[in-house]
Structure 1
Amino acid sequence: MPASRDQTPIGRRLQHHFDELGPQERRVAGFVLDHLEDLAIYSAADLARLSGVSKATVTRLFQRLGYADFRAVKTQVRRLRHYGVPLASSTALGEGDAPFHRHAERERDNLRHCLEALTPARFEAVIAALDDAPEIVIVGYRNSYPVALHLRQQLLQARPGVRLAPAPNQSLAEELVALEPEALVVAVGFRRRPRLFGTLIETLAQQPQRVLLIGDPTTTKYESQVAWRLECPLETISAFDSYASAMSLVSLIANALLHRRLAAGRARISEVSELYEALDELGQ
Structure 2
Amino acid sequence: METDAVEDRLGEVYATLPPGERAIVRVLLDDWPFAALGSLRALAERAGVSPPTASRLFDRLGYRGFADFQNAVRKGARERSRLLEFVQPGPERAAAGEATGGAVEVRRAADELRAGLDSTLAAVTEPLLEAAAGLLAGARTVWALGGPLSELAAEYLVRQLASLRPGVHRVPGDPQARARAVLDLGPQDVLAAYDFRRYSPATARFAGAARARGARLVLITDAWESPLAPEAELLVRLPREAAGPIAPLAHEIAVTELLLVAAAARLSPAGRLADLDAIARTL
Q: TM tier, shorter chain? A: 0.5 to 0.7
- For residues 73 and 127 of structure 1, do their structure 2 counterparts lie closer, same or farther at Cα, with a shift above 3 Å needed? same
Residues 243-263 of structure 1: CA deviation (Å, up to 9, x unaligned): 11111111111122112222x
How many residues are treated as equivalent by the alignment? 212
* Contact 2:163-2:273 at 8 Å conserved across structures: yes
Q: Write out per-residue CA displacement over residues 29-53 of structure 1, whole angstroms, 9 at most, x where no aligned residue.
A: xxxxxx5xx36249xxxxxxxxxxx
- Structure 1 residue 214: Cα displacement: 1.2
C-alpha separation in 1, matches of 2:101 and 2:77: 28
Percent sequence identity over matched residues?
A: 22
- Residues 77 and 275 of structure 1: is their aligned pair in 2 closer, same or farther, counting only changes over 3 Å? farther
Q: Is the 8 A contact 1:147 1:247 kept in 2?
A: yes
Moved more, 100-109 or 135-144: 100-109
Moved over 4 A (4+): 66-70, 74-78, 91-94, 167-171
Q: 1:188 to 1:231 in 2, by over 3 A?
A: same
- C-alpha distance in 1 between matches for 2:3 and 2:266: 48
How far is 1:168 from its partner? Answer: 5.0
Match of 1:115 in 2: 121
Is the CA contact (8 Å cut-off) linking 2:113 and 2:243 kept in structure 1?
A: no
Instruction: Confirm or deny: 8 A CA contact 1:129 1:184 kept in the other structure.
Output: yes
Letter in 2 for 1:151: L
Q: What is the CA deviation profile of residues 229-281 of structure 1, one whole-angstrom value per residue up to 9, with x for unaligned ones?
A: 1123464353221211111111111122112222xx111111111111101xx
Q: 2 CA distance for matches of 1:169 and 1:157?
A: 27
Aligned amino acid, residue 275 of structure 2: E
Higher helix proportion (structure 1 or 2):
2
C-alpha distance 237-112 of structure 1, shift in aligned 2 (>3 A): closer
Q: Distance in 2 between matches of 1:221 and 1:75?
A: 26
- State the distance in 1 between where 2:258 and 2:73 align: 41
Q: Could you list the per-position Cα deviations for residues 59-111 of structure 1 after superposition, in whole angstroms to 9, with x for gaps in the alignment?
A: xxxxxxx9977512256699xx9xxxx84332499826422332222112222
Query: In structure 2, do the counterparts of structure 1 residues 199 and 74 end up closer, same or farther at CA, with 3 Å as the change threshold?
Result: farther
SS class of match (1:213): strand
Q: 1:120 to 1:161 in 2, by over 3 A?
A: same
Residue 174 (structure 1) aligned with residue 180 (structure 2): yes
User: Which amino acid is 2:73 matched to?
Assistant: A
CA distance in 2, matches of 1:183, 1:151: 16
Mapped partners of 1:70, 1:273: distance in 2: 61
Given that residues 158 and 170 in structure 2 are in contact (C-alpha distance below 8 angstroms), is that contact kept between their aligned partners in structure 1? yes
Whole-angstrom CA distance in 2 between matches of 1:112 and 1:192:
24
Aligned counterpart in structure 2 of residue 268 of structure 1, from 266, 272, 281:
272
Sort the Cα spacing of 1:97 and 1:224 in 2 relative to 1 into closer, same or farther, 3 A.
same
Is the contact made by 2:123 and 2:238 (CA closer than 8 Å) also made in structure 1? no
Contact 1:139 1:187 in 2 (8 A): yes
Q: Contact conserved, 2:189 with 2:215, CA < 8 A, in 1?
A: yes
CA separation in 1, counterparts of 2:272 and 2:252? 25
TM-score by length of 1: 0.64
Q: Distance in 1 between matches of 2:78 and 2:128?
A: 34
Structure 1 residues without counterparts, runs of 5 or longer: 1-34, 43-65, 280-284
**Aligned CA distance change for structure 1 residues 193 and 96 (closer, same or farther; 3 Å):** closer
Query: Retained in 2: the 8 A contact 1:216–1:231?
Result: yes
The CA RMSD measured in Å over matched residues stands at 3.1
The residue type paired with residue 228 of structure 1 is L
Q: 2 CA distance for matches of 1:237 and 1:134?
A: 37
Q: Which has the larger radius of gyration?
A: 1
Mark the CA change 1:75 to 1:173 in structure 2 (over 3 Å): closer, same or farther.
farther
Hey, what's the Cα distance between the residues in 2 that align with 1:164 and 1:101?
36
Structure 2 residue aligned with 1:134? 140
Q: Deviations over 1:151-179 (max 9, x none)?
A: 10111111111001125575522211111
Alignment equivalent of 1:88, drawn from 84, 87, 97: 84
Find the aligned partners of 2:247 and 2:5 in 1 and give their Cα distance.
20
